[in-house]
Amino acid sequence: MNILVIEDEERVADIMTKYLEKEGYKVFTCYTGRSGLDCFYKNKIDIVLLDLMLPDIQGEEICAEMRQVSNVHIFMITAKGTLDSKIDGFDRGADEYLVKPISPREVVARVKALDTRKQREENKEMLVFDKGHFKIFLQERIVQINNEEITLTPNEFDLLYELASAPGRVFSRDQLIEAVMGIDFDGFDRTIDVHIKNLRKKIETDTKNPRYIKTVTGVGYKFEGEHA
């Protein structure tokens, strides 16, 4: 995988880069938001490690711009650790939210976990529901509803796949966090609620009366599509 590090603290950026390169990843390192966006558009990037406090462009703006054109996996890295800041980050399209100070070993572990999940998905087949009107292509990481492709963030896709892989099964928030973000994720339960809200906006005709992703009060969520 190709990884883009956008971090204005050069020492922090260089340490993360060295740790990732040691694991065999190709890393592009940028110290400003503008150079990071330029690199993003010129190269095929799989993961972005994005600092929010940059000297020229706010990281939130960069995240929103990338999300308009790509489903690249975005790690937001920031000193802002409040609940509202995290929710805002996920609303803007972030897949993970890491609060400084962070260990480069933790960053590597999260990247490797994501890499492993992608490799597992490459060996699985397409999921089809509702007489072919709802399709999930696992290897291509594409969702089609009525033959229209729906653009999802990496976490939204992983969340949908986890639910759709077992229609009717009720998943707790903790189970979904572990499956999508890893057992060591130290965020909060509302993370899943934010992703579900964003996912429903994209796949449901009526978000107040969802067809596919149902809320099970006091427990979590389940998927109700019917296998073709």
Query: What is residue 209's DSSP assignment?
Result: S
pTM above 0.95, yes or no: no
SS3 of 93, please? Answer: coil
Q: Give the ranges where 71-152 is alpha helix by DSSP (H).
A: 83-91, 104-121
55-110 pLDDT, tens digit each: 999 888 999 899 888 888 999 988 876 778 778 878 888 888 888 888 889 899 98
Kindly report the length of the chain: 228
CATH of domain 124-223: 1.10.10.10
Class of domain 2-119: alpha beta
Compute the distance between CA of residue 165 and CA of residue 179 in angstroms, rounded to an integer. 12
- pLDDT (0 to 100) of residue 211: 92
Domain boundaries, the chain: 2-119, 124-223
End-to-end CA distance of the chain: 34
* Residue 200 banded pLDDT, cuts 50, 70, 90: very high
